Amino acid sequence: MKIKLQIIVQVFLLTISVAQNNNVDLDSNHTNKIEYAFYPMAFYTPETQFAFGAGGIVFTKFGLEKNISPSKIQISSYYTTNSQYLFSAMPTLYFSGSAEIISNSKFVYSRELSKFYGVGNNTGNIKNPDYEIGLFRFYTELSYGTGIIENLHLGLIYEFTSNKILDKQKNYELITNKVIGSNGGNTSGLGIILSVDSRKNIFFPTESIYCKLRMIFMGRDWGSDFEYNRQVFDFRKYFNLGKENVLASQVYIESTSGDVPFFMLPTLGGSEKMRGYFLGRFRDEIYLTWQIEYRKIFWKRFGGVAFLGMGDVASKFNQLDLAQFKYAYGFGLRYVFDEKEKLNLRMDLGFGKSTSGIYFALEEAF
C-alpha cells in the first residue's frame, strides 16, 4: 500500500502541473467563459487495479443570471492493468429562463472485471469471485422548475443498459445460474424525479441543501428483459464553518423490488460512498448509507478532507441492523483547478474493515 500511495501522489502532482493552466476564455467579448481542464490520470482502486488514461471537463453558463449554475460536460477514459477499459461522458446542463430546465445524462461504455460474492450483507470470501461484464449504459433525466417552491424541480427519467456476461470465470454463483441475470440481459425503463437544490456552487457547495428522489420502473414494455422497480433517495446538507472550512453530510437510500438482476442490485462501496470497500463487495435489494466529510483549503490551491461513513445492505428495511453496520473512513488531497468555481481534483484514501482503496476523480464525492 505504501508503494502504491507514493505512485499515486506523484501522479496527482504531475496531473496538477499539466492541467493547472488549461482554463481559457475562447471569446473575451462574451460575459460567460467556456472553460476546460484536461489531464492525464493514473490511479489504483480495488475495482480496477492500476489504471491509466485521461479525463477532462468543459463548463460554462447558459445565461447571464448570477445565480445560474454552470453547465458541464465531464469525460473520462482509461485502460487498466487487468484489461478493463471505460469511456464515459456526463453532460449536466442548466438553462436559464422561467422554466429553469435541468438536463442530466450519462453515457458509459466499458468492459469490467468485477467480483460477485453472492447477495446479502454477510457473504464470505469465495474461491472464484471474479467475472467479466461488458456494459453500455444510457441514462437521462430532464426536469423543470415547478414554480411552487423555490428550487423545486419535477421531471422524467429514461434509462437503458445492455449487460453482457463475457466470462463467468468459474464463479460458482454464476455458472450454476443461481441468481437472476447470471446470463446478462438488457434493462430499460421510465421514471420520475423530484429534486430540491439550493446549492450556490455545484462544485464546492456550502450552506445549502441538495435532495433528490428518483423512481424508475423497468418493464418489458420498454424493452427490458427484467421487470423491477428502483427508488433512490439522496439527501445532502452542507455547513459553512467559516475560513474555507466546510462540513458536508449525506444520507443515501436505494431500494429495489421485483426480478432484479444481480448486476443492478444496490451495491456498497466505490469512489463516492463507503470509500474503501470494493464496489459490489456487498449487494442486496436495500442499501442505506450515511457519510460526513470535513473539507478545508489549507494553502493556496491545495486542500484536504477527512471523512467517515457507515452503511449496509439488506433484503428488507426491517433487516437493517445499526449495530451491524459496516464503517468506512479516510482522508484525501484536493487541488483547486478553477478558483472562481472551486472545481477540485481529488485523491482519496479510504479504509473499511480489512479493506482499503485509493480513488482519483474530479469534483467532490458528494
Task: Tell me the mean pLDDT in the region 285-308.
Answer: 95
Check: CB of residue 358 under 8 Å from CB of residue 8.
Answer: yes
The residue with greater pLDDT, 198 or 47, is 198
Question: Exposed/middle/buried for 59, CB within 10 Å: 0-12, 13-18, 19+?
Answer: buried
Helix (H) / strand (E) element for 12: namely: helix 2-19
Question: Does the structure show a pLDDT above 60 at 62?
Answer: yes
Side-chain-side CA neighbours of residue 308 (13 Å)? 2
Question: Does the structure show a pLDDT above 60 at 149?
Answer: yes
Interval 80-105: pLDDT, tens:
988 899 999 999 999 877 678 999 99
Instruction: Give the pLDDT band of residue 9 (cuts 50, 70, 90).
Output: low
The Cα–Cα gap between 91 and 278 comes to: 26
Helix (H) / strand (E) element for 6: namely: helix 2-19
Indicate the pTM of the whole model.
0.86
Interval 203-237: pLDDT, tens:
899 989 999 999 999 999 999 999 999 999 999 99
- What average pLDDT does the structure give for the chain? 88
At residue 285, the pLDDT reads 97
Check: CB of residue 140 under 8 Å from CB of residue 161.
Answer: no
Instruction: Give the pLDDT band of residue 148 (cuts 50, 70, 90).
Output: confident
Domain residue limits at 89: 2-362
List of long-range contacts for 8-14, beta carbons under 8 Å, 24+ apart: 8/42, 8/43, 8/44, 8/347, 8/358, 8/360, 9/333, 9/347, 11/40, 11/41, 11/42, 11/43, 11/360, 12/333, 12/335, 12/345, 12/347, 12/360, 14/40
Question: Does the structure show a pLDDT above 90 at 320?
Answer: yes
Q: Would you tell me how many other CB atoms lie within 10 Å of the CB of residue 105?
A: 16
Question: Does the structure show a pLDDT above 60 at 198?
Answer: yes
Task: Tell me the mean pLDDT in the region 332-350.
Answer: 87
Instruction: Give the pLDDT band of residue 64 (cuts 50, 70, 90).
Output: low
Domain with residue 142: its CATH number is: 2.40.160.50
At residue 22, the pLDDT reads 47
C-alpha closest to that of 306 among 317, 314, 316, 298: 298
C-alpha cell at 219: 418493464
- What letter represents residue 19's amino acid? A
Check: CB of residue 190 under 8 Å from CB of residue 157.
Answer: yes
Interval 225-269: pLDDT, tens:
999 999 999 999 999 998 889 999 999 999 999 999 999 999 999
Task: Tell me the mean pLDDT in the region 108-115.
Answer: 93
Highest mean pLDDT among 64-68, 210-214, 332-336: 210-214
- Per the rule left: phi > 0, alpha: psi between -120 and 50, beta: everything else, 71 is beta
Cross-strand pairs, 126:
none
The Cα–Cα gap between 197 and 95 comes to: 15
How many structural domains is the chain composed of?
Answer: 1
Question: Does the structure show a pLDDT above 50 at 74?
Answer: yes
SS (H, E, C) 342-364: CEEEEEEEEEECCEEEEEEEECC
Task: Tell me the mean pLDDT in the region 103-115.
Answer: 94
Task: Tell me the mean pLDDT in the region 199-204.
Answer: 88
At residue 91, the pLDDT reads 95
Quote the percentage of the chain above a pLDDT of 90. Answer: 59
